[in-house]
Chain A
Amino acid sequence: MSERLLEVEDLSVEFATEGGVIRAVEEVSFGIDRGATLGIVGESGCGKSVTSLALMGLLPRPAGRVVGGSVRFDGAELIGLDESRLRKLRGSEISMVFQEPLTALNPVYTIGRQIAEVARRHLGLSRSRARERAIEMLARVGIPLPDRRIDEYPHELSGGMRQRAMIAMALVCRPKLLIADEPTTALDVTTQAQVLEQIVTLQREFGTAVILITHDLGVVAETCRDALVMYCGEIVERAATEHLFNTPRHRYTQRLLEAMPRIRSRPLTSLPVIPGSVPEPDRLPSGCRFAPRCAHSGSRCELERPRLQRLEDSDVACFYPANVEADGAAT
C-alpha cells in the first residue's frame, strides 16, 4: 500500500457562463499522503472550492466540467468514473464538510437519522446498530447528551453543534479522506477553536487525511502540515506549512501574510496592502496572473507564465521569488 492517498495532476476545470467559457482551475497538481493534512488557501474566486468539488465529482452540471488532468485516489482514477461508483466512494472513502451545514443537512430528518442512514448504506449496519454508531459519533465530535440530541432536527442545533453533527456524518464510515471547505468560516471564533480542535483530534485518531480549504492563513497554520496557495485558478506556492509561513517564496503569499490583520504587540500605523484587486476570470493576464499587482514584476512576468519550480523547501511559480539570498535578488 503506497503512502500516497491522493495524487492530482494537471487538473483543469472550465465553467460555461453567460459571457463564455472561463477556466476556473488551471493545471493544478498536488498530492496528499495517508493520514496527512493539507491546507488550500486563497481568496474568493481563486478556484480552491472548485478544485475540491472536481475531486469529488461534484461540479455543478452542466456548467462545470473537468477538461484535463487526472485524480488518482488510492490507486484508482476518479476522473471519468461513472456516477454510481463515485457515489459509493463518497461518504465511505471520501467525504466532505461544507461551510454552511444547514444547506448540507436535510431539514426534515433528525440528525440521528441522517447519520445512521450513511452508516446503513455504506457499512450495511442494521437500524439499531446504525443508531448506536450515530450516537457514538455524536459523542466523539463533542456533542453533549448525544442520546438526546440525536433525535433533534438541524434547526434545533446551534451553528457550532450543526457543524459538529456534519463532521460526525462525514466521519461515521471512517473515510480515508475528508475534504473540509471553509468548515469554520461561519462560526464564531471561540466555536471555531473548538471545531478545529475536534477535526484535528479525529483526524489523528482515525488516521483520516484532511484537505482543509480556507481563506484564513491562521487556520492553516494551526491545523495543516502542508499547504498550498492558489491565485486565479493556479497554484502559486506549495510547501510544508512551516516553510510557507517562515519563508514565503511567492510574492502573493508574502503580501498575503503581511496584509493579514493580526494582534500585534505594537500595532502598525498602516497595514501593508496588496494594490488593486483580483482580476475577473475572463480578463486574466496572459503571463503571471499576479504580475499587475506585484511590486517585483518584470517584463518576463507579463509575457511568460511561470511554472511551479523547486526552490529549496518550496515549489513556487514565480520568476523573482522572495527570500532568496543569492546575488542581488530581492528579499
Chain B
Amino acid sequence: MSQPLLRVDRLSRHFRVRRQGGAGRQILRAVDEVSFSVERGRAFGLVGESGCGKSTLARALLRLIEPTSGRVWLSGEEITALDRRALKRARRRMQMIFQDPFASLSPRRTVAQIVREPMDAHHFGDRSERADRAARLLERVGLGAAALDRFPHEFSGGQRQRIGIARALALEPSLIVADEAVSALDVSVQSQVLNLLASLKQDPGVGLVFISHDLAVVQHICETVGVMYLGRLVETGPADRVLSAPAHPYTRALLDAVPIPEPGRPIGGRALAGEVPSPLNPPPGCPFHPRCPKALPICATRRPSTIELTEDSQAHRVDCHLHDPEIGA
C-alpha cells in the first residue's frame, strides 16, 4: 500500500533551561519520542492541555523549530534530513494556520497581498496567475473577490481566520497544520470555520494535523486522535474509539471534564485532582500516576510501554500499565 502523507517517528524536542534557583542546566522534554502518521484525505487531532507540548510538536514537524531527535517524512521525503534550501522547497507543501488570525496577518497589506505573499515568495506562476489564484482562493473560503482590496481590520474574527486559511492554501500544500485555529472564535462562527477546515480534506492529496484543547472540535474534524500529556502521546487511535471508549485514564478525565449543555447533571466528583506537574520535574514511572484514579503501585516506578489494543490497521495504542496483559487488572 501507499505510504502515509506524514510519518513521524520518535520525534523529540528538548530544551536546556537554567536550573531554577541553582547553578547548571537541566533538560525540559517538551516533546518526547512522539510517533504517529497522517493519511491523505484525513485529519489527525492532537489534544492536550496547555503546556503538554502540542504546539512545540506542531512547529517541530515543520522544522519551524529544530527537533532534537527523531524523524519526519512528508510523502516519503525525509524532512528532518533536508538542508536549508531543500527545506525551503519542501515548505511549500506544509502550511500552518494559527490561533490568532489578527496577529498573523499584516495590518498594512490588503487581503490580496496577504494571500499572494506565499506565492510571491515561492515564485508560484506569473503575476496574473497569482492574482487569479488569490481571487479563487477567497471564493473557496467563502469571502468572495470583493474582499481582495480590503485590509484585515475590516473583517471579523471568523473572516480573518478564513483569510488565514486562504493564504495557507495558496501554494497547494499537502499538509496543513492548524494550531488552535478556531479557539478564539465565537460559537456561531466557529462552526462555519470548522466546516471549512473539514472540507479541505475533500482534496484527496491533503492531510491535516489539527491541534486543539477542545475534544468536541477534534471529534468533528478528525478521524484519528492523539492525546498528549507532558510531552508524550499517551493514547492514539481512531477518534470514535478514543472518544467513546478511552483507554487511558487521562483521556477519560479530559472527556469527563468537558461541560455538557444538558442541564440537571450534578456537578462534582468528575474533576480530576491536582494539576499538571512541571515538565522540568516530571514524576517517575507513569507521568500521570500522581493524578490517576486507577494508579497501581507499579505506575509510580516503571514507565509504561506502548500497548497495541487492536490488531487491525486502525491502530489504537496506549501507554498505560492497566492495559499491559502482564500487569493489568
Contact = CB atoms under 8 A, between A and B. Distances in A.
A83 B215 CA distance: 45
Nearest to A266: B240
Interface in A166-217: 188-194, 196-197, 200-201, 215-217
A311 B272 CA distance: 40
Interface string B208-222: 000001111101100
Given A196-B259, A218-B259, A255 B188 contact: yes
B261 A245 contact: yes
Given A200-B267, A261-B191, A271-B195, A218 B261 contact: yes
Contact of A193 (B158, B213, B239, B272): B272
A221 B275 contact: no
A76 interface: no
Interface residues of A, number: 51
A189 B260 contact: no
Interface stretch (B72-80, B89-97, B249-257): B249-257
A259 interface: yes
Given A222-B260, A273-B195, A259 B271 contact: no
Given A43-B186, A242-B263, A261-B214, A218 B275 contact: no
A193 B216 CA distance: 16
Nearest to B253: A190
A186 B257 CA distance: 15
Nearest to A144: B274
Interface string A245-270: 11000000001110111111101101
B189 interface: yes
Contact of B219 (A201, A264, A293): A264
A5 to B, nearest CB: 22
B45 to A, nearest CB: 12
B172 interface: no
B191 A193 contact: no
Contact of A259 (B190, B253, B255): B190
Contacts of A277: 156, 158-159, 188-189
B117 to A, nearest CB: 25
Contact of B259 (A160, A192, A245, A278): A192
A274 interface: yes
A167 to B, nearest CB: 15
Contacts of B256: 193
A44 interface: yes
B188 A223 contact: no
Contacts of A222: 259-260, 263, 265, 267
Nearest to B240: A267
Contact size class for B? 35 or more
B187 A221 contact: no
Contact of B190 (A160, A261, A267): A261
B187 A189 contact: no
A256 B190 CA distance: 11
B261 A257 contact: yes
B195 A188 contact: no
B258 interface: yes
A46 B49 CA distance: 28
B50 interface: yes
A49 interface: no
Interface in B228-260: 239-240, 243-244, 253-260
Contacts of A260: 187, 191, 216, 261
Contacts of A160: 275
Contacts of A257: 261
Interface of B: 49-50, 156-159, 186-192, 194-195, 198, 213-217, 219-220, 239-240, 243-244, 253-265, 267-268, 270-273, 275-276
10 contacts: A190-B257, A193-B271, A197-B271, A218-B260, A221-B265, A242-B263, A261-B191, A262-B216, A263-B255, A271-B191
Given A190-B271, A270-B198, A275-B192, 14 more contacts: A43-B188, A44-B186, A192-B259, A193-B271, A196-B259, A217-B261, A219-B259, A221-B265, A222-B263, A262-B258, A263-B243, A271-B191, A271-B194, A277-B156
